[in-house]
Structure 1
Amino acid sequence: MSDEKNIAYIPEDHSLGISVITAIHSGDIPLLKLLLEENPGLAASRIVRNGELRSMLHIATDWPGHFPNNTVTIALLIDAGAEVNARFTGPHSETPLHWAASCNDVEVLDLLLDAGADIEASGAVIAGGTPLDDAVAFAQWRAAHRLIERGAKAALWHAAALGLVDAMKAHFAGDPLSQQYPWGAGHSSPPDEVNVAFWCACHGGQRHAAEYLLGRKADINWPSVWDGLTPLDAAQRSASPDLVQWLRGLGAKSATGLL
């Protein structure tokens, strides 16, 4: 273990790294308690892998999440000094809350928020956005709805994907939702928000939201800027047969049909 600014950096293949990761992922609470007692500062340390740094809470919320005894594990780590808003160091800077949202792990999400996690933290793999961005983009619907319940700021595309038609109507009535876009704020020519929201409604399997947005002149065949899929493709991926049938009845095409 090396130390810098009171944070220890532990190689993943170091004996301590192997032991603590095993304890966290297996839910072995007695072993984790022993490791924390024998290694002061362990809860605030970082695991090093291929130049990337993960906090202990990132280890506990890593994909696919839902590890045995995960809420007990995370509470123990926080009590021992784990930083609830620690940043991943690598190709993005997600917090443990981003990772819990991406795993649809609502119990852990609540625990992190109760411990002071920033619900609007930036750094997501989705355009550097919030935990809600991750949850919606990765179709983690329980986590997305829970984040809204806990006060996360929703953009129009979030509301569409979650079927929050009243919020969408209020947006167009002059009470705008958050001005966030899934392609990032720095995009030189952002697509029309109605088209994006319509695509997201199909991604979320939300027919009522899609119908409302089509009434606001959404392009039924708009291919997304992030994966090239059309709303029909997104609806098929979401396993929403009623929505797929409705779209096809209106002449919607898949991306391959637009070529």
Structure 2
Amino acid sequence: MQTPHSLRSQDPMAVAVTEAIRSGDLDALRRLLAGHPGLATARVVEEREGCGPGGRSLLHLAADWPGHVPRGPETVAVLVAAGADPDARFVGAHRETPLHWAASNDDVPMIDALVAAGADIEADGAVIAGGTPLADARAFGQWRAARRLLELGARPTFQDAATLGLDEVVEAGLRATPPPSPQEIDEAFWGACHGGRLSTAVRLRAAGADMDRIGWGGLTPLDIARAGETPEAAEVAAWLTAAGARTHAEPEEADHS
């Protein structure tokens, strides 16, 4: 009997294959795939909080939060050999591929396995402005994943480069024709503060970046630098403070004073 294209998450088959993938039980996974032709390309559909209905491929299940499932790379190989598409798209509130999810979880072994299986490292559709897996990695502060994607050939945008401290790429972007817009420079500056990249932040400030621009989550560059957990982020926060940068609350207080 052919497996349905979509399986409800509560369906016994969906429960069984999800458990096999999440536990790294490759023997059970192989039995399910062999006994149910088409299962490798099926989607598990459920109502996800904040996302509405969504359909995940089996490779999405392997890369899902919090990542780092047991025997994850081997699971990828088994699923792809059975017909799973390494570039399958989430069906629902976004179009992320399994590689986007691996990048968001700092899951370097899964990134390696998916790219080796043929996943498109430049796939669009990220929850971060529809970008690539690299956009997810740098936005969520998954620095190991971001570095690995670069090593594998990912092409950084201007904001990616600033967030990751790729000063030569940032400088080339500033000298490009046409040059980055003021908004792009502000966003790159915010990213550099997020990543704890002092030299990059200094250069972008000299290029006209707004030190108090409100970015993701309602946070200013000083807010996001203070939220960092590295000595580099603390260094950026100290520099911003000395330069007179404000937190998200301070402009509001000034407006009401």
Q: Hey, what does 1:10 align to over in structure 2?
A: 7
**CA 1:100–1:176 in 2, change beyond 3 Å: closer, same or farther?**
farther
**What code does the residue aligned with 1:213 have?**
L
Choose from 237, 254, 259 the match for 2:247. 254
- The two structures, once aligned, show a CA RMSD in angstroms of 1.9
> 8 Å contact 1:2–1:10 — kept in the other structure?
no
Deviation at residue 119 of structure 1 after TM alignment: 1.4
More helix by share: 2
**What code does the residue aligned with 2:235 have?**
D
Q: Which one is further off, 119-128 or 87-96?
A: 119-128
Q: Hey, what does 1:24 align to over in structure 2?
A: 21
- Looking at structure 1, the residues matched to 182 and 106 of structure 2 have their Cα atoms a distance apart, in angstroms, of 28
Q: Deviations over 1:103-147 (max 9, x none)?
A: 111111121112111112111111222111111111111111221
Q: Hey, what does 1:132 align to over in structure 2?
A: 134
Q: Hey, what does 2:80 align to over in structure 1?
A: 78
Q: Hey, what does 1:94 align to over in structure 2?
A: 96
Deviation at residue 248 of structure 1 after TM alignment: 0.6
**CA 1:74–1:175 in 2, change beyond 3 Å: closer, same or farther?**
farther
**What code does the residue aligned with 2:78 have?**
L
**CA 1:54–1:176 in 2, change beyond 3 Å: closer, same or farther?**
farther
**What code does the residue aligned with 1:77 have?**
L
Deviation at residue 8 of structure 1 after TM alignment: 2.1
SS at match of 1:227: helix
**What code does the residue aligned with 1:28 have?**
D
- Looking at structure 2, the residues matched to 148 and 206 of structure 1 have their Cα atoms a distance apart, in angstroms, of 17
Q: Hey, what does 1:243 align to over in structure 2?
A: 236
Tell whether 2:222 aligns with 1:232: yes
- Looking at structure 1, the residues matched to 88 and 187 of structure 2 have their Cα atoms a distance apart, in angstroms, of 31
SS at match of 1:48: strand
- Looking at structure 2, the residues matched to 147 and 194 of structure 1 have their Cα atoms a distance apart, in angstroms, of 23
- Looking at structure 2, the residues matched to 176 and 109 of structure 1 have their Cα atoms a distance apart, in angstroms, of 34
> 8 Å contact 1:27–1:67 — kept in the other structure?
yes
**What code does the residue aligned with 1:34 have?**
R
Count of aligned pairs: 244
- Looking at structure 2, the residues matched to 134 and 66 of structure 1 have their Cα atoms a distance apart, in angstroms, of 17
Tell whether 2:34 aligns with 1:37: yes
Choose from 152, 156, 159 the match for 2:158. 156
Report runs of 4+ in structure 1 exceeding 4 Å deviation.
Answer: none
> 8 Å contact 2:2–2:36 — kept in the other structure?
no
SS at match of 1:192: helix
SS at match of 2:68: coil
Deviation at residue 228 of structure 1 after TM alignment: 2.1
Q: Hey, what does 2:143 align to over in structure 1?
A: 141
Q: Hey, what does 1:184 align to over in structure 2?
A: none
Deviation at residue 175 of structure 1 after TM alignment: 7.5
Tell whether 2:213 aligns with 1:211: no
Tell whether 2:185 aligns with 1:194: yes
**What code does the residue aligned with 2:220 have?**
T
Q: Which runs of 5+ in 2 are unaligned?
A: 48-52, 253-257
Q: Deviations over 1:126-176 (max 9, x none)?
A: 122211111111111111122122222211111110011111112223388
**What code does the residue aligned with 2:199 have?**
H
> 8 Å contact 1:2–1:9 — kept in the other structure?
no
Q: Which runs of 5+ in 1 are unaligned?
A: 180-189
SS at match of 1:10: strand
**CA 1:176–1:84 in 2, change beyond 3 Å: closer, same or farther?**
farther
> 8 Å contact 1:170–1:176 — kept in the other structure?
no
Deviation at residue 78 of structure 1 after TM alignment: 0.7
> 8 Å contact 2:41–2:85 — kept in the other structure?
yes
